[in-house]
Amino acid sequence: MSATLKQILASEEKLNEVVRAAFDSVNTDKSGEITHSQIEAVMTQVSKDLGTQPPSANDVNEVIKHLDTNKDGVISFDEFKVLIKDVLNAMIKQMEG
């Protein structure tokens, strides 16, 4: 499994497919940019799934501040890609212990 994740990270084409699928599932209005309310919706869903406290407005702002590198207030495909790369790298690290 970690070999597969590494293959994804090693291939720009595979990585783009994975990022596109994740991006489209978050960018529910297909505007091409992920907004504050879309990030909030995802974080709220994840907290429900995990049975944890829903995110505060501040939590959402922190995530956006972290991802929104060009500071235009929305998350572009390229900005989202950085997040997915981080997630994949974290998953590989976890699996390899």
Report the interface residues with Ca ion, using CB under 5 A: 68, 70, 72, 76
For 21, residues 6+ apart whose C-beta sits below 8 A from its C-beta are: none
Q: How far is the CB of 92 from Ca ion (least distance, A)?
A: 26
Structure tokens at 89: 């790298």
Structure tokens at 88: 């994949």
Our CB check for Ca ion shows the closer of 28 and 70 to be 70
Q: How far is the CB of 8 from Ca ion (least distance, A)?
A: 24
Structure tokens at 94: 């976890």
- Distance from C-alpha of 39 to C-alpha of 9, rounded to nearest angstrom: 24
Q: How far is the CB of 74 from Ca ion (least distance, A)?
A: 5
